[in-house]
Every structure is written in C-alpha cells, then in structure tokens.
C-alpha cells in the first residue's frame, strides 16, 4: 500500500506516470491560460502557447476575431506556423512553404505538380482547429474545437472573483517574472489555497489582511477566496493603499481564487495579479507572474506612495530574526512572502520521498487542499470516461 497524502497517494506528487496522466487528462483537456488580450494587440498578430501536450497557435484576423489552431503543419507536422504578408492573410510553415488561410484551409503547396504527381487533396489538409476565447481580459485556449464554453466553465465562479475589470488596467511590466519551483504543481496549488498557513508562515508578511475573517469556497473545480483588510490597515485604508485604487469604493479586501487547473489570481483594492502554474515534471513547476495596476498618472502614483509611506515603512519583517535565522539567505528571514512559500513547497516536496513519511490531520483551514485533490481525481475520472 502506498502512503496516502489525504485523498491522493504520494506517487501522485512524485511519479512520472502520474505526471503523464495529468498532462494527458487535465492539461490537454481543459481551458489553458494563454496570455493577456494585450499579447495579441491587433490584426495579424499571433502567439503560440503550450497547453499540456498541445502546442496551440492564436492569430487575429482583420475582423479582430481570434482563431486558434494546433501548431502542426499538415505536411510534416512541424511547429513552425507563422502569420506573414502585409495583410497577414496567410499562415505559413517556413520548412516547405505550405500556406494556409486564416480559416486554416491549405491554399498553396509549392511546386505542386512536380513534387506531387499524384496530386494533393488540399481540402483534407487544413490546420486542425482549436478554440480560443477571452475572459476578464485573459486569453484562454482549448485543444478541442467545440469545448464547453467559458461561460459553462467559469460562469459560476465569476461572481466571486471581485469587481475588477482587467481591461481597464495597465500591465506593470517590472512585475512580470517567471521562475521554477522544485515541487509538484499540486503542492504549489495547495500552498496557494492553504488558509491555515497565512497567519503562520506569513505571520509578518501578509498581515494587512485579516485571515481569520476569510471567506472561501468552491464552484465546481474552482476555488474562491476573499478576506477583508485587517483593522490596522483598514483604519486609514484609502491613505494606506500603496498605489491608486483599481476598483471603486466601497469595495475592499483581497480576492485570491485558484481556477482549475493552476490558474491563480490575486486581486486587491490596488492591483490585479496572475499566478499561472505550469507543471514541467513531477517535481518541477513553472510560475508566471503578471501584474496590472491602475491606469493613473504618475502624479497620482506619487501622491498615493507618499500618503501610504508611513504605514509601509514599519510594516512586516522576517519570520525568524537574529539568532533564529540561518544566515543572510534564509528564506525565513527574507521578509518576502513568495520566498517563504517557495521554500515551504520545496521542503515539502523533499519530504515526500522519505520512507518514514506519514501525513498528519488536516486543519479546517486546510480543507481546500482536500477539495483540490478531489477536483483533480474527479476531472481525470470524467476525462477517462470520455476517452
């Protein structure tokens, strides 16, 4: 019998076989985050994204509609598709210059008569269609040309995601980053949705919000979370916000949902952030952070920074100080909640290989972890039934 980690066997976090199954049944069968709408700003622009086992290609036509295809040239399968030409009316593969129109139809094959004396039936060699749609300013792709709509997928959780309209905000480029965590993607998700750890691991880094008053729950496989500002922070909230507001008053608090699979949002009075989790291996996970702030003048930014300075100058500190810290690089002395989380995730992953591992009871604030494990199991089961 394998050791259980609540609802899942420990292998779910360590074995290549589980990783492969999740790639196939979860990440290749669901709506994947592909970027922000700004990433495809106008006709002729295109991007490609890896979504589980599929590489998908998104291009915008002159009608401003996005099209998505599997980035597989129907000749030799090469992942090389590009949009070219002044009007970007054609998609082409530079390997042998096979060319497709914006609906994916193969329209030209060079030296057709000479190279294919038997003829090529272009009508059955179109690019394979996939799906793309936009939700709250984010691009999502699905490998299936007829998937459940984003309304079916996110409709029920949407009212819990906060009053933010990302379309009105501007990206804060300096906050864009990507890094890898040496842990399974589910460990990272579990850390993100663990309500219990907030007042402990982050005792001195996230206490501007009142974790004891957090409200959280599920809509299908999607987790939602909201907590109000702590008394100290709320006393002079408008003055204390580090940057200008992105939502109208009287809305306050932090919305930190985790959409399935691995699409974390973190939104508050003054910012809207993305935390995209992509599994790279059983014990390696990529994080992509993007951040949007108010579309306000630099004067308004300076004003807000100035007014909030007195609150933030003494705010926060290291989890362990002085003698308790293990030198300068100790994440527990970093004063940075992300460093604290990454460290916790990696240390937990390491523990999973110990023959002596035994998981203790789950706290109330850890109930989301059990729910997420359940969501993973249910999604895979449903997909397995389909195939």
Partner 1 sequence: MRDFHPLRLSEVRPEIEGAATSLIFDVPQDLQATFQWQAGQHLTLRFMIDGVEERRSYTISNPPWAPLRITVKQVYKGKVSHHVAGLAPGDTVEVIPPFGSFCLTPQPMGRRTHYFFGSGSGITPLFAMINAVLQEEPYSVAHLIYGNADEPSILLREELEALQDRHGDRFTLRHVISSPSMWSWFSPWRKGRVDKDAIAAAIEETPPEAQDVQYWICGPGAMNRDVKTALMSMDVPDTRIHMESFGGTEAENDGVTGVKATATVRLDGADHQIAMAADQTLLQALQANGLSVPYSCQSGVCGACRCQVTEGTVHMRNRMALEDADIANGAALSCQSLATSETLGVNFDR
Q: Which positions lie near ligand FES, rule CB under 6 A?
A: 73, 75-76, 78, 93, 95-98
Q: Which is nearer to partner 1, 42 or 119 (CB)?
A: 42
Question: From CA 336, how far away is CA 33, in angstroms rounded?
Answer: 26
Radius of gyration for the chain, computed over Cα atoms and rounded to the nearest angstrom: 24
| Six token digits for residue 83 | 């949009």
Among partner 1, Fe ion, ligand FES, none, the one that 341 touches (CB under a kind-dependent 5 to 8 A) is Fe ion
| Whether 18 contacts 11, CB under 8 Å | yes
Q: To the nearest whole angstrom, how small is the minimum distance from the Cβ of residue 160 to Fe ion?
A: 20
Q: Minimum Å distance from CB 355 to partner 1?
A: 49
| Torsion angles phi and psi, residue 256, rounded to 5 | -130, 70
Question: Closest CB to ligand FES among 84 and 284?
Answer: 84
Position 210 contacts Fe ion (CB under 5 A): no
Which of 143, 341, 345, 365 lies at the binding interface for Fe ion (CB under 5 A)? 341
Residue 382 sits in the site that holds partner 1 (CB under 8 A): no
Report the alpha-carbon distance of residue 32 to residue 53 in Å, rounded.
Answer: 11
CB of 330 to partner 1, least distance (A): 46
Distance between CA atoms of 374 and 39, rounded to whole angstroms?
A: 34
Judge contact between 20 and 27, C-beta under 8 A. Answer: no
Output the six-digit token pair for 113.
Answer: 């008569």
Which of the listed partners (partner 1, Fe ion, ligand FES, none) does 133 bind, with a CB threshold of 5 to 8 Å by partner kind?
A: partner 1
Stretch of residues binding Fe ion (CB under 5 A), selected from 48-56, 266-274, 276-284, 333-341: 333-341
Least distance from C-beta 105 to ligand FES, angstroms? 15
Identified binder of partner 1 from the candidate list 17, 53, 65, 378, rule CB under 8 A: 65
Establish if 152 lies at the interface with partner 1 (CB under 8 A): yes
Binding to partner 1 by residue 155, rule CB under 8 A? yes
161 alpha carbon, distance to own chain's centre: 14
134 binds partner 1, rule: CB under 8 A: yes
Q: Give the list of residues 6+ apart from residue 133 with CB closer than 8 angstroms, or none.
A: 31, 139, 140, 142, 149, 150
- Report if residue 129 touches partner 1, rule: CB under 8 A: no
Tell me how far, at minimum, the Cβ of 249 lies from partner 1, in Å.
Answer: 20
CA distance 139 to 152: 16
Report the residue number, 3 or 289, with the smaller CB distance to Fe ion.
289
* Residues between 81 and 110 with contacts to partner 1, criterion CB under 8 A: 89, 102-103
150 binds partner 1, rule: CB under 8 A: yes
The item of ligand FES, partner 1, Fe ion, none sharing an interface with residue 214, based on CB under 5 to 8 Å by kind, is: none
Q: How far is the CB of 201 from Fe ion (least distance, A)?
A: 6
Q: Which one, of 271, 245, 242, lies nearest residue 256 by Cα? A: 271
Taking each helix axis from N to C terminus, what angle separates 337-351 and 185-193, rounded to the nearest 10 degrees? 130
CA–CA distance, 368 with 73 (Å, rounded to integer)? 42
Using the rule CB under 8 A, is 64 a contact of partner 1?
yes
Contacts of 31 (CB under 8 A, 6+ apart): 133, 140, 141, 142, 147, 150, 153
Give, in order, the Cα–Cα distances in Å from 49 to each of 46, 105, 122, 377: 10, 21, 26, 26
Distance of CA 337 to the CA centre of its chain: 18
Q: Which residue has the tokens 């035994």?
A: 358
The distance of closest approach from Cβ of residue 313 to partner 1 in the complex, given in angstroms and rounded to an integer, is 41
Counting contacts by CB under 8 A, is residue 276 touching partner 1? no
Shortest separation between residue 102's beta carbon and partner 1, angstroms: 5
Q: What H or E segment, with its residue span, contains residue 19?
A: helix 16-22
Q: Which does 65 bind (CB under 5 to 8 A by kind): Fe ion, partner 1, ligand FES, none?
A: partner 1
Least distance from C-beta 101 to ligand FES, angstroms?
Answer: 15
Measured CA to CA, the distance from residue 212 to residue 233 in angstroms comes to: 15
Please give the residue ranges that form the binding site for partner 1 (CB under 8 A).
43, 61-66, 89, 102-103, 131-134, 148-152, 155
Q: Which residues bind Fe ion (CB under 5 A)?
A: 341
């Amino acid at each position: 019998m394998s050791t259980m980690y609540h609802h899942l066997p420990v292998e779910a976090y360590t074995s290549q076989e589980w990783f492969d199954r999740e790639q196939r049944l979860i990440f290749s069968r669901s709506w994947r985050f592909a970027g922000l709408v700004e990433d495809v700003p106008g006709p002729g622009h295109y991007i490609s994204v890896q979504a589980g086992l599929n590489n998908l290609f998104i291009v915008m036509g002159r009608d401003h509609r996005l099209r998505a295809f599997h980035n597989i040239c129907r000749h030799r399968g090469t992942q090389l598709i590009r949009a070219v030409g002044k009007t970007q009316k054609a998609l082409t593969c530079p390997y042998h210059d096979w060319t497709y129109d914006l609906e994916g139809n193969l329209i030209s094959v060079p030296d057709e008569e000479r190279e294919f004396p038997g003829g090529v039936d272009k009508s059955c060699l179109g690019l394979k269609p996939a799906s793309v749609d936009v939700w709250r300013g984010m691009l999502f792709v699905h490998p299936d040309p007829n998937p459940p709509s984003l309304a079916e997928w996110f409709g029920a959780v949407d009212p819990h995601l906060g009053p933010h309209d990302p379309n009105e905000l501007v990206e804060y480029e300096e906050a864009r980053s990507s890094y890898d965590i040496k842990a399974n993607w589910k460990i990272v998700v579990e850390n993100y949705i663990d309500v219990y750890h907030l007042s402990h691991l982050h005792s001195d880094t996230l206490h501007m919000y009142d974790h004891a008053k957090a409200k959280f729950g599920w809509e299908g496989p999607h987790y939602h979370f909201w907590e109000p500002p702590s008394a100290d922070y709320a006393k002079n909230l408008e003055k204390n916000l580090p940057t200008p507001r992105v939502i109208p008053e009287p809305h306050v608090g932090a919305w930190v949902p985790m959409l399935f699979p691995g699409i974390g949002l973190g939104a508050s009075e003054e910012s809207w952030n993305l935390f995209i989790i992509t599994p790279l291996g059983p014990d390696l996970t990529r994080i992509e952070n993007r951040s949007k702030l108010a579309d306000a003048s630099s004067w308004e930014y300076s004003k807000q920074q100035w007014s909030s300075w007195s609150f933030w100058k003494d705010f926060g500190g290291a989890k362990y100080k002085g003698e308790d810290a293990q030198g300068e690089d100790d994440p527990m002395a970093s004063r940075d909640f992300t460093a604290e989380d990454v460290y916790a995730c990696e240390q937990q992953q390491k523990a999973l290989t110990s023959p002596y591992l035994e998981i203790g009871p789950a706290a109330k604030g850890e109930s989301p972890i059990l729910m997420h494990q359940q969501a993973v199991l249910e999604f895979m089961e449903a997909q397995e039934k389909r195939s």
